[in-house]
Amino acid sequence: MSDTDLAFASIEEVGKLFRKRKLSPVELTKLMLGRIERLNPKLNAFLTVTTELALAQAKKAESELFAPRGRKGHHDRGPLHGIPISLKDNIYTKGIRTTAGSKILKDFIPQHDAQIVVWLKEAGAVILGKTNMHEFAYGVTSNNPHYGPVHNPWDLARIPGGSSGGSAAAVAAGLCYGSIGTDTGGSIRIPSALCGIVGVKPTFGRVSVKDVIPLSPHLDCVGPLARTSADAARLLDSIFVRGKGEPSLQSATKPSRARRRFRLGLPKGFFSDVVSPEVELTFEHALRLLRRSDCNLKEVSIPLLVETEDAGNQIAWAEATHYHQRAGWFPARVGEYGEDVRTRIEMGAKVSATAYLQAMEVRYSFIEHFHAAMASASVDALVVPTTPIPAPMIGEETTTVCGTNHPTRSLLLRSNRPANLGGLPAVSVACGFTPEGLPVGLQLIGAVTDEHLLLRIAGIFERSLPLDRRPPI
């Protein structure tokens, strides 16, 4: 296997090589560090590279995995043992700078790890570093005014999406085998779609957000970005809070002899109201593949979808501003924010208590109506385009769709915000490319706690559509 083949291998493939002693975690970590050194100047995906920590963790993993079975020192911690990953830079890491992509926290070094980092270390993951992001996770481009823009590995002139843009670019370019990001209005799924990888937003509360710098506490989620649904399941499984008797997520993406026809809902309107022709064409092809892969598709009506945009905005604006006021940064350090983030925080200061409470009422009503509609239609999940457009150019503030100009930010958020408002699990999976060679994402949205089901459907879809997942960087 060449170094390039190895860089784009799956977590399962790498794990098998470790356990056959055909590859060591140290060798693999050095390969990843070498690729970061060579490619990160083009991508700007990493803000901090933790070379010494990564090599120390890799050496420990090697000694545990390579010690003779049954002898003192042998310890197999599972599928992530020795696997190099990255973390979005708003997640606390002990002794490692955590900037949240901001100037305000440019020198902040936490004294402890976030809970999810503790669990990842216990699983034996090797942490390569911290990834670039939209400032304070408050945007969808990852065009960072303090540390420079992240570039999409499929076209360096385009955005990778955000706010977990550095994570997505690093995974897509083969600089790590997975990353942990955050999602408040699509910040895992948007960059996953634009970079041609898989992103999972779990059910609200199923993954700890403790010591993750918040944006909107009622909407924030933590989840994985990976090249395949199977890799995403392995990452999520290590930080996921499962219910009693609930199966491992890793079992979801394995081929099964027991065949089941899944029922997928195509929402009427909203998601399909504004879609670029190239995305629509790719999405329609994906639907045909789903129909051939034991999936029945039917139109469904989901109430209050249009209302999710304003309700999500009101909640995020108010809660983000409250956090920044409580931290003592706003308005005291207003000049240290990038223009777009400062503008949104100022907007949050104008949200009235009544408007906030009304938005929360819409949230509760949407959750109730969503589950009732899913049950009434007897569908397992919704299937929609993750974003209505492929990756825009860096700095592109408006995008034309079918002759009409739209704010690029609103377009990218449009199909993603409903799952955050409803606390619903959602998976974005690559479903093809535009004629220009830009990735397109397909999103599956399910009822609460349906992560296993969504990952199973994603795995079935991936097997129906083998894709070249190596960008031309």
Query: What is the spatial distance between Cα 301 and Cα 337, in angstroms, rounded to a whole number?
Result: 41
Take residue 419 and report the two structure tokens written for it: 């799952």
Closest by CA position to 221, among listed 235, 236, 209, 232? 209
Parallel, antiparallel or unpaired: strands 381-385 and 295-300: unpaired
Query: What is the spatial distance between Cα 235 and Cα 229, in angstroms, rounded to a whole number?
Result: 10
**Which residues lie below 8 Å from residue 249, measured CB to CB, with a gap of 6+?**
233, 234, 236, 237, 240, 451, 452, 455
Helix H or strand E encompassing 205: none
Q: Per the omega criterion (within 30 degrees of 0), is the bond before 163 cis? A: yes
Closest by CA position to 194, among listed 202, 185, 186, 205? 186
Query: What is the spatial distance between Cα 188 and Cα 178, in angstroms, rounded to a whole number?
Result: 12
Is residue 167 annotated as a catalytic residue, yes or no?
no
Query: What is the spatial distance between Cα 137 and Cα 30, in angstroms, rounded to a whole number?
Result: 30
Catalytic residue among 24, 163, 192, 216: 163
**Which residues lie below 8 Å from residue 213, measured CB to CB, with a gap of 6+?**
90, 91, 92, 98, 100, 105, 136, 137
DSSP state of 217: T
Residue 317 in contact with residue 125, Cβ under 8 Å?
no
Is residue 272 annotated as a catalytic residue, yes or no?
no
Residue 224 in contact with residue 235, Cβ under 8 Å?
yes
DSSP for 101-150 reads: T-STTTT---SS--HHHHHHHHTT-EEEEEE--SGGG--SS-EETTTEE-
Catalytic residue among 24, 60, 88, 121: 88
Burial 104-139 (b: 16+ CB within 10 A, else e): bbeeeebeebbbbbbbbbebbbbbbbbbbbbbbbbb
Is residue 88 annotated as a catalytic residue, yes or no?
yes
**Which residues lie below 8 Å from residue 458, measured CB to CB, with a gap of 6+?**
198, 229, 253, 427, 429, 444
Catalytic residue among 86, 179, 187, 216: 187
Helix H or strand E encompassing 295: strand 295-300
**Catalytic (active-site) positions:** 88, 163, 187
